[in-house]
Amino acid sequence: MTQQECRFGLIGFPLGHSASASYFAKKFEREGLKTYSYTLFPLLSADEIIPLIKKTPSLQGFNVTIPYKQSIIAFLNHLDPVAREIGAVNTVKITSSGSEFELRGYNTDAEGFRKSLRSGFHHTHALILGTGGSSKAVAYSLKKMGLDVLLVSRSKTNLPAITYSDINSAILEQYTFIVNCTPAGMFPDINQTPPFPTELLHQHHEVYDLIYNPAETKFLHLAREAGAKTQNGLKMFELQAELAFKIWKG
């Protein structure tokens, strides 16, 4: 019997930074899944999602990245309760019956982030840079862990958030865990940084950047030079990918 082709992929734009295709190619080879494949689908609009699924009948699920983690929700038939509470989706499972299909949305970013934290994590207050889909997942996880969370936005927003110009020594004495959830510094724009006062950081701070390409962003480099502990997003990326695959094949 010929094994059925099983396709998965990543939607977002741009996708030049992503290691998803390489990660899953190695996983499929390692596990002997010869009919499995993973494709990058750079889409210029969320409106392209349904046409893509219709013309890719072997597609069984996909990951979602910037900028569609929130706009994807409008296209889903079902939303996992955790994803609903977060307000963002990074994993979609496709259930097909003939030419008909249903889309179920999940969020594996939150659990991937939580599991990636260092052992001995001790912080009680966190600053989250950015207000997009990734920041929502990180905020959800940290709040579940009992942390006081404060969002930071480039401009005034309807959300309860401060702007970068509001960050001062007093705030940073209390908020010792800082998470960058923005794309600033991501390949290929590796010289960018969030407009964050890294000179105010010291050895009691820990800075986590969700970006993993490059392995050390300019933001992490500056934080490390100031004395802070640093961590990139590679472990989170790998954990959320494995969680996504369990959902697709569960």
Q: Which residues are tagged catalytic?
A: 69
Q: Do 61 and 8 touch, CB atoms closer than 8 A?
A: yes
- Report the alpha-carbon distance of residue 178 to residue 210 in Å, rounded: 11
Helix (H), strand (E), coil (C) string for the chain: CCCCCEEEEEEECCCCCCCHHHHHHHHHHHCCCCCEEEEEEECCCHHHHHHHHHCCCCEEEEEECCCCCCHHHHHCCEECHHHHHHCCCCEEEEEEECCEEEEEEECCHHHHHHHHCCCCCCCCEEEEECCCHHHHHHHHHHHHCCCEEEEEECCCCCCCEEEHHHCCHHHHHHCCEEEECCCCCCCCCCCCCCCCCHHHCCCCCEEEECCCCCCCCHHHHHHHHCCCEEECCHHHHHHHHHHHHHHHHC
- Report the alpha-carbon distance of residue 88 to residue 180 in Å, rounded: 17
